[in-house]
């Protein structure tokens, strides 16, 4: 129920209550007014067209009784009219009060609607530089708009600080790992390197690669949670085709067959982040599979949503473990040490990116083994 309607109903209720009290008071006044007065109905004599009757005579009694009956009839009719017409007037006034209150509330809330439109535009546009900038009388609404603008300013500064931190962390964390990889690679390739040194170097390169993937995952997770999306239209099918072409070699190496079922799926957002989402899902489907396994990638449009569905064969997945796979560093089947299968952030990043695009992600186990993961994003008309 809107504020306007509640205010209108409140006005109608107040009018009904006050009108009922006034009607009750008026009813009592009219009733008291029409009550007989002492001495007025029992005069010493009565003069009528039929003659002059003194007190105590038969004609006097008949005439007095007739007058009392007329008084009672008029009193009853008058009180009935007060009840009936008064109640109708009160009910009509209550209904009118609802309409008047509804209109008055609309007039009073007009500045609030302007503030709401501005706040919605800022929220939907993800532009934290926007402000309400309410210019009006010094009242509670101006105070609320000022507080909201202050909050937007603090949020903008906070996001800017986080973006700078992510950029600095990206540089500071990646640089030493790149240097380590180069040094180990040079040491392994030396002619005098022994077999033990080469095996050690290969192990170090694997550990280094795992750390690089972990850092990339953490940075992507932070970027997906904190980024302000610059929403631009693109086709999810184009992104899926690009990712599938990129992972074709890895799929062939692992002897995994990929089936493409790609229909047009227009959406909007940051295509780079959505590409990371698709890449994580497809790579998981390939790596968490078995030899001669299969992967099905589907894109399609349904009503106001576009869907990306990635299904794969593999080990049986218990239903109670489904929600856990979207948590950071959680893997199925206790597989924490297999660095070739990722850092444990893949599906966490998928969920964050989907939610940043106002979408959803859900997973369900396949009866034959493996998973079916569905991502829904808003359609772009």
pLDDT of 337 reads 41
pLDDT of residue 91: 92
Q: Give the pLDDT score at 336.
A: 42
Give the ranges where 126-191 is alpha helix by DSSP (H).
140-188
Please give the average per-residue pLDDT across 248-264, as a whole number. Answer: 93
For 156-183, write each residue's pLDDT tens digit: 788 777 767 766 776 777 788 888 888 8
Closest CA to 201 of 215, 218, 183, 213: 183
Cα radius of gyration (the chain): 41
Distance CA 311, CA 364 (A): 9
In whole angstroms, give the CA distance from residue 61 to residue 42.
10
Cα–Cα distance for residue pair 290/216, rounded to 1 Å: 26
Q: Scanning the structure block, which residue is given the tokens 């708009």?
A: 145
**The tokens of 198 are what?**
């080469």
Q: How far apart are the C-alpha atoms of 152 and 136, rounded to whole Å?
A: 20
Res 339: pLDDT: 44
Residues ≥6 apart with Cβ < 8 Å to 228: 126, 127, 128, 159
pLDDT of residue 228: 44
Q: Which residue has the higher pLDDT, 50 or 162?
A: 162
Q: Answer yes or no: pTM beyond 0.85.
A: no
Q: Say how many residues make up the chain.
A: 381
Per-residue pLDDT reduced to its tens digit, 222-249:
665 555 455 789 999 999 999 999 899 9
Minimum mean pLDDT among 108-112, 223-227, 261-265: which range? 223-227
* CA pair distance 133, 128, nearest whole angstrom: 13
Report, as an integer, the average pLDDT of 6-23.
Answer: 89
Which pLDDT value is given to residue 39?
A: 56
pLDDT of residue 138: 64
What average pLDDT does range 81-101 have in this prediction?
A: 90
Residue 338 pLDDT class (50, 70, 90 cuts) = very low
């Amino acid at each position: 129920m809107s504020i306007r309607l509640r205010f209108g109903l409140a006005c109608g209720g107040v009018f009904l209550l006050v009108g009922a009290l006034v009607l009750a008071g008026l009813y009592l006044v009219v009733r008291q007014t029409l009550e007989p007065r002492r001495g007025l109905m029992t005069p010493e004599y009565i003069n009528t067209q039929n003659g002059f009757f003194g007190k105590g005579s038969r004609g006097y009694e008949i005439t007095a009784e007739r007058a009392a009956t007329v008084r009672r009839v008029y009193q009853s009719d008058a009180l009935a009219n007060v009840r009936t017409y008064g109640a109708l007037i009160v009910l009509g006034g209550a209904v009118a009060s609802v309409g008047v209150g509804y209109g008055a509330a609309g007039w009073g809330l007009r500045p609030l609607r302007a503030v709401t439109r501005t706040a919605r535009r800022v929220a939907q546009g993800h532009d934290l530089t926007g402000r309400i900038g309410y210019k009006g009388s010094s009242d509670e609404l101006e105070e609320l708009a000022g507080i909201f603008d202050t909050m937007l300013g603090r949020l903008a500064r906070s996001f800017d600080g986080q973006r700078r931190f992510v950029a600095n962390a990206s540089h500071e964390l990646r640089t030493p790992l790149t240097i380590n990889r180069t040094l180990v690679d040079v040491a392994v390739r030396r002619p005098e390197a022994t077999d033990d040194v080469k095996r050690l170097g290969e192990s170090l390169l694997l550990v280094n690669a795992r750390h690089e993937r972990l850092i990339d995952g953490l940075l992507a997770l932070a970027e997906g949670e904190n980024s302000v999306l610059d929403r631009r239209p693109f086709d999810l099918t184009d992104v899926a085709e690009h990712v599938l072409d990129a992972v074709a070699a890895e799929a062939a190496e692992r002897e995994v067959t990929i089936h493409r079922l790609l229909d047009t799926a227009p959406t909007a957002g940051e295509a780079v982040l959505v590409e990371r989402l698709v890449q994580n899902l497809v790579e998981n489907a390939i790596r968490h599979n078995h030899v001669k396994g299969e992967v099905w990638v589907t894109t399609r449009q349904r009503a106001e949503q576009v869907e990306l569905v990635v299904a794969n064969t593999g080990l049986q997945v218990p239903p109670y473990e489904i929600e856990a796979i979207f948590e950071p560093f959680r893997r199925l089947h206790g597989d924490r040490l297999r660095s070739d299968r990722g850092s444990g952030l893949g599906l966490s990043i998928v969920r964050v990116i989907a939610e940043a695009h106002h979408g959803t992600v859900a997973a369900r186990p396949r009866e034959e083994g493996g998973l079916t993961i569905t991502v829904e994003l808003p359609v772009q008309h």
